[in-house]
Structure 1
Amino acid sequence: MAQGRNRIYFAIAFVISSIPALFALYALQDNLTFLSTILFALSIISMGLSTFLFLGYKTVKHGTPMIFTLLASISRSLAPFARYLSRTTVIGPAFSIIIRFLFFLGFIVLLMGDNLVRTILRCVVGKHPSNRNYSITNAMDLHIELFDDSIPRTKHLENSELFKQRKQLRMTDEHNGPESRELTSLLKRPKYSVSLAYTLSVASRLVYEDVEVINVQGGNICAFITEKDDDILLVFRGTNPLNIQNYLTNITMGMTDVKSSWGPMGKVHKGFWKAMGEPKKRYNTDEGHCSDHPAQKASSSSSTGPILRIELINTSVYRTIVSAVQGLGKIITFVSTNLFHHVNEPIDSTWIGPDTDIRSNSMYTQAEEHILALIQRTHNDTKQNKMRSGLSHGSTTAPSKKKKRLFITGHSLGGAMGTIFLAKMLQSKSPLLDHFAGLYTYGQPKIGDAEFSRVFSPHMTNKIFHHVYNNDIVPRTPMSRNYYTPPGTLVYIDSAFNITIYPPNPYTNEPVPVRPISFLHLSGLLNRYVIRRLPRENKIRILFRIIFPFFLNDHFPSEYSESLRHGTVNWVIMGAGGLEGGNEEQHQSVKKRGSVHRRYSIVDVQD
């Protein structure tokens, strides 16, 4: 059967390659020697290329195990040499600078070929069952399963009593020093679930797809809201990986001050904060009026935007002319001001209608109103069920439904927008805070300064988890000193899919930063764990591993989903300062030295 297919392939290749040769024979009869030479060369090149593709395909097909074995041998041989070079004072930093320069240079070239890359990948991957194209983000793994019941439960993190027992074991361990015991006593249970983290990571992948599930839009970002039982998911989309306009928006890294009625909240990324939009002005129910100026109340609470009123008086020639000039001045001011606003901040308003003010329907406002409507609908259904139950059983009470839980999630830019959405909830004292159950982000960049990262209370930070997979470069950017690591609890996943949880500093509430990238580290196709997984990966994923550097491959959302699906939580590590997430050598020294290293507390939560 295989030999028959090979004969058919070469027969077709021979026929196609012979076409230029036939035209070359006719050209020789007319003494067109130069043209015939070119056509004969084209025929030979065509046949040679067909043969090369055939041999390359057969080599990859039958030589894959040998290639994987060779990569594993190279990885073992280079490991000591790479460790030595990474610790040098000159070669390591110089190599790091060269790699970064070449990466960003190649990335710009890649972005310039945006349309070509999209076309090629879509031809290879095919189309979605809805007859739409798959997103390039998910092209490497088309098997997207939202739930996986085989993922083991993290019972010592999901059960408060079991977590207390682990803390007691840690505190009674005679090898731990007094400071380590004090840290353990201050440790609050991270309300973390691997199975939930996996589901939300898959939802963060789905939002990249070009299917009509998006019902919240604004500026350069979009999201979807879905409801399942008593849970509501708000999922933000990340950056389109081959859209240069998205990157131009992201690199607007100026910072803006954030203030609230209860105090300052630090500084955040100006572009991200502005893209989310502002909440609607809330009313003071005690006094029956808006807390802001009445004029602002009228404009912000109205969905039609600001209203211009012109009064014309014709009691005399003078009054007629004066009032007309004043009215004309108001019209010119109104048109110029609002046209400048829409031109300066172009937003497509076709999806919301021409008679609705886009500024009063920001990304934040849409999402908040939609979620509150879902909660209110559930509340009304519960009241109706209670009334029916009372009428049928002669009682006025009925089992109450659980309170709705709101989970916010997103990958990359989507994770940053999810964090900003929660910050705006906190800033505006949104009623959604009573329903907030968790923020799970994956590979999100830094978005604010140190003050912003500390502003979230410990009650919230034990429900905020930002995941970092191995050498993902995005969580390490921007590299400016003004930017600090995102708020909440760091969940670090190494290349072997070991999951370690780092709660914030118990004294200062500062989050734990992730370690810097070592560009001399054996990663990507030279990492032994990645090599072992290659046989299970499809051709597109392997192609991406070859084309893109390891620190960009680690950013793909499929890496987060796969690592959470097969990963295991082993440690909860709390530090009082100087701790970096994902520093393997530091972890080993902490585990060995015990009470000697007094600034750390390690609680083993492996089930």
Structure 2
Amino acid sequence: MSLSTFLFLGYKTVKHGTPMLFNILASLSKSLAPLTRYLAKTVVIGPLFAFVIRCLFFLGFIVLLMSDQLIRAVFRLLIGRHPSKRNYSITSAMDPRIELFDDTIPRSKHLEDSELFKQRKHLRMTNSTGPESRALTSLLKRPKYSVPLAYTLSVASKLVYEEVDIIKYELKRAGFDVDRTFKPIAYKNICAFITEKDDDILLVFRGTNPLNIQNYLTNISMTMTEIKSPWGPMGKVHKGYWKAMGEPIKRKDDHETVKTTITPDGPVLRIELTNTSVYRTIVSAVQGTAKIIKFLTTNLFRHVKEPIDSSWVGPDIDIRTNSMYALAEEHILDLIHHHHSPDEAQSRRRSGLSHGSTAPNTTATKKRKRLFITGHSLGGSMGLIFLAKMLQSKSPLLDHFAGLYTYGQPKIGDAEFSKVFSPRMTSKIFHHVYNNDIVPRTPSFWHYDTPPGSLVYIDSAFNITIYPPNPYTNEPVPVRPISFLHLSGLLNRYVIRRLPRENQIRILFRILFPFFMNDHFINDYCQSLRQGKVQWVIMGAGGLEGGDEEQQKAVHKRGSLQRRLSIVDVHD
């Protein structure tokens, strides 16, 4: 009875009080508008007010970055420290296990072996009843997808949220050549690392740091910018993401790179003092002091205006001058051009990047190095932006591109942008969506469209379904909208079964956050890929949505699906 009374009074208060509050705010806005316009145009008050706001924002940014270490210390009390003696991040606190390889994960051999895939396609065409379905199946290009590789890259996308010492420890434990190939890269507030194992190079971008307000500003810069290349237009993309990557190194032509020195150090102030006389002593001291004051005020205001996060690579490295793209491309090209001796190459290939190769190489001949790009959330967007800039600049890295695997990646471009990527490239691009993760479904306004490549949809039971692009147009398949009319989150029976194996921090997050945010955490992507299997490759020529529940039921029953839809069953 008390609850009913409380709810009734609350409803009445909101109903009758809201219009009054709106009227007060509207009147206040109308009264203050002339004054604010006048003050904004003044020579002193307007700029001063803007400077104060920027300073407050900068202080808040610094406090948040310091809070990251405080929260890590709190988590240490609950789950302990990492073996490297560093503290876990919020991401890993929910599941501290970091295992980059798992040999028990079954290989998706029908997707890794072209001959097996052709046989399965032929079987599907033979059993198909309609000519249209057979035509779709014949046009389907094999998605070069591997579940074990997807799992490894998802764990790498989780690992990148940690401190550099933890990353190096885990990579070395997994057999990566950390001493020679590992490189952490930062540009303003975007972070990534590069490493190599058995001629496979990983470029891993970090997603949004929950305590880095600049990452959120990058995310919400949603206005679209038109991008062009020497060979034609490339559509429109998210302005914040495109700008955050930085520009490629300029090339004179397709084969010659303009020599540009990329240095880790920023501008250096040098002051020369002389004491040959009283006059020279005073003059040089005054000049040196003036230079110091100018250096301090100019650069401090620069940091206030555009704060950077130097915690990733250290305070002595310049992360403002050289772009993320230029730094990453230079290091990867250095790794590609570095060839091992025959004995070293043969020794390294005996182990191989686990599940990374479709066919083992038993010879000591030189093997083309492969580049895999990956990232979660914002990191996935940056991975796709990096690939787009490779395409825009005709980078030599394109010859080594082997796959882009993203997890919970938001939309970043329009339909024209997605069509820029050829079928040969989209067969190596996979954006994973776990169940009701809201981030891949946003932004849903303006001209934002589905990312290029294949949608890899994972339901709450960890069933994996791949939706390649439209065989006729190469148009990607969108993920279905979120449904609020079914049991999700803590009411989902599969989630309930997993609760006893989850720690208290993960359960707390499940309680605090709605199901569509909980489904975004990278831990669920890692777990689902570790325990799941690819069941089907589903394609259509229009009107198809990935992860449609009714469609999944029809697939389970092996019944007829909607018109213009074809299934290739690749369950091993």
TM-score (norm 1): 0.68
Give deviations 1:428-463, integer Å, cap 9, x for gaps.
000000000000000011111111111100000000
Equivalent position to 1:154, from 103, 108, 111: 108
Give deviations 1:117-161, integer Å, cap 9, x for gaps.
666444323322222220001101111111000001111111111
Higher helix share: 1
Q: How does 1:105-116 map to 2 (within 5 A)?
A: none
The answer on 1:362 being equivalent to 2:331 is: no
Partner of 1:378: helix, strand, or coil? coil
Equivalent pair of 2:72/2:88 in contact (CA under 8 Å):
no
Rounded to whole Å, the distance in 2 between the matches of 1:219 and 1:574 is: 40
Aligned pair in 2 of structure 1 residues 584, 444: CA closer, same or farther (>3 Å)? same
Aligned to 1:248: 217
Aligned to 1:67: none
Partner of 2:550: helix, strand, or coil? helix
Aligned to 1:479: 444
Aligned to 2:401: 436
Aligned to 1:164: 118
Aligned-partner residue type, residue 230 of structure 1? D
Aligned to 2:146: 193
Quote the offset at 1:602 in angstroms.
0.5
Equivalent pair of 1:177/1:595 in contact (CA under 8 Å):
no
Give deviations 1:535-557, integer Å, cap 9, x for gaps.
22122211211111111111111
Aligned to 2:49: none
Q: How does 1:299-378 map to 2 (within 5 A)?
A: 345-347=306-308, 358-359=320-321, 361-378=322-339
The answer on 1:546 being equivalent to 2:511 is: yes
Rounded to whole Å, the distance in 2 between the matches of 1:410 and 1:196 is: 13
Aligned-partner residue type, residue 241 of structure 1? P
The answer on 1:459 being equivalent to 2:424 is: yes
Aligned to 1:492: 457
Rounded to whole Å, the distance in 1 between the matches of 2:484 and 2:73 is: 32
The answer on 1:280 being equivalent to 2:233 is: no
Rounded to whole Å, the distance in 2 between the matches of 1:439 and 1:415 is: 9
- Percent identical pairs in the alignment equals 74
TM-score (norm 2): 0.72
Equivalent pair of 1:230/1:402 in contact (CA under 8 Å):
yes
Equivalent pair of 1:473/1:555 in contact (CA under 8 Å):
yes
Partner of 1:509: helix, strand, or coil? coil
Rounded to whole Å, the distance in 1 between the matches of 2:537 and 2:244 is: 35
Aligned to 2:8: none
Quote the offset at 1:244 in angstroms.
3.5
Partner of 1:284: helix, strand, or coil? coil
Matched positions, count = 446
Partner of 2:236: helix, strand, or coil? strand
Q: How does 1:162-311 map to 2 (within 5 A)?
A: 162-174=116-128, 176-212=129-165, 213=168, 215-284=184-253
Aligned to 2:23: none
Aligned to 1:27: none
Rounded to whole Å, the distance in 2 between the matches of 1:156 and 1:184 is: 15
- Greater gyration radius: 1
Partner of 1:541: helix, strand, or coil? helix
Equivalent pair of 1:180/1:595 in contact (CA under 8 Å):
no
Aligned to 1:417: 382
Rounded to whole Å, the distance in 2 between the matches of 1:377 and 1:427 is: 25
Rounded to whole Å, the distance in 1 between the matches of 2:215 and 2:266 is: 28
The answer on 1:566 being equivalent to 2:520 is: no
Equivalent pair of 2:454/2:477 in contact (CA under 8 Å):
yes
Equivalent position to 1:512, from 462, 477, 481: 477
Give deviations 1:236-287, integer Å, cap 9, x for gaps.
000113444422321111111110011111111111111100001112378x
Aligned to 1:585: 550
Equivalent pair of 2:554/2:561 in contact (CA under 8 Å):
no
Partner of 1:190: helix, strand, or coil? coil
Quote the offset at 1:354 in angstroms.
8.4
Give deviations 1:3-46, integer Å, cap 9, x for gaps.
xxxxxxxxxxxxxxxxxxxxxxxxxxxxxxxxxxxxxxxxxxxx
Aligned pair in 2 of structure 1 residues 191, 384: CA closer, same or farther (>3 Å)? closer
Equivalent position to 2:415, from 414, 427, 450: 450
Rounded to whole Å, the distance in 2 between the matches of 1:575 and 1:434 is: 30
Aligned-partner residue type, residue 247 of structure 1? Y
Partner of 2:403: helix, strand, or coil? strand
Equivalent pair of 2:186/2:319 in contact (CA under 8 Å):
no
Equivalent pair of 1:179/1:598 in contact (CA under 8 Å):
no
Quote the offset at 1:233 in angstroms.
0.5
Partner of 2:82: helix, strand, or coil? coil
Name the Cα RMSD after superposition: 3.3
Partner of 1:257: helix, strand, or coil? strand
